[in-house]
Structure 1
Amino acid sequence: MGPFTRVKGDLRYVLVAIDYMSKWAEAKAMRTINQQDCIKFMDAIIMSFERAWNEAQKGISCASSGKWTGRKPPPGRELMKYGTEARIPIETGSPSHGVINFDEISNIEGLKTNLELLDEVRDKAVKRMEGYKENTKLYFAKKTKIREYEAGDLVLRHTEASDPTNQGKLQPNWEGPYIVKEVLRPGTYKLSYLGGTEVPNTWHGARLRKFYQ
């Protein structure tokens, strides 16, 4: 992202990486952004999580061992082996239900079963996520009111409609103004530039906004 206003250290850009599933974000202010900078940035993230994983393997008590080493992973990087449970030191010495009834063979079989069902669980999670997005879209669409325009009105056009590839957080959302040349049907319009040249294609009212001089 950037360029922004220069700050101490001649920093003008922000390089951001976001994990798609967990939404964990890593950001770093930089002077410039090029291929080499991106490679170093990603290498630093990978190495950081690798160190956190090694610390977690040493410091987290797993149900399969029932032991506690007294070490903790770095804050915010509590990573565990899939299917295992972390316990605090007092739980390892107390006669809890999990400790008394622990069976290593059954535990291993249960972990294998969970791994076999992992793809199915992921597919269900993806479907739930898609359904949630669709329901959210329909909920907000109920509140959307499409404005009607008349020939001769000045309007702005959403940049996503005119050029979907030219999008970014720092890009303007609206462009124009344009003149409504013709109303083809309610909600559908032909536009023209201020000079009178017709704008190609037709445009939906949801992508237009009234321009006030």
Structure 2
Amino acid sequence: MQLVPADMLRFIEMKGKRFSHFVSKARKTCEQIIATISFTREYEDFGTAESRWQNLRKIIESAQEEVNADGITIINDIPEDCEIYADPVIRKVFTTLLENAIRHGETITKIHCFCTKDENQLIITCQDDGVGVPDDEKRYIFGLRYGKHTGIGLFLAKEILSITGLSIRECGEPGKEARFEIIVPENEYRFLSESEKK
């Protein structure tokens, strides 16, 4: 889908630097409109389907298939029997995290997904070795329209997670890594091998 004809943009570009600002602005506006249309189409049923138990490892595997890692190693260390209770579109949360790491990581070579127990909570971590998120931006990155791309992805991720009481935070070290942690409350996750023992 292209809202501004390519020939028109090329013509404006040929007219010199004085038009470059307008071309850049037009492209950005087109990207945002297309992203909004895509957002509306993909999430028209967001929050209407019943939440259910889902295999976390398979969710991340599915998200991996949707991104172009292009030489970046994605390590999925989620246990095979780990399940979380969440909205069916939670896959998009992990797709967004992977896409953002690839798009903004700059020096990134790998993305590592794993989970750990913290008292009664489960912490799902998506960590990369890229440039990270500056400290002064951490409080804003989950806001609508904030960021260098469309500004929808992380906002939506937060909303999807909140449906079943999950939350997300970024706690990586700027210049060294981006580290997104999804906090899953007690009773919203389970390990099937442990359930069978009870």
TM-score relative to the length of structure 1: 0.26
Give the number of the structure with larger relative contact order, counting CA–CA contacts within 8 Å between residues 6 or more apart: 2
Larger radius of gyration: 1
More helix by share: 2
TM-score relative to the length of structure 2: 0.28
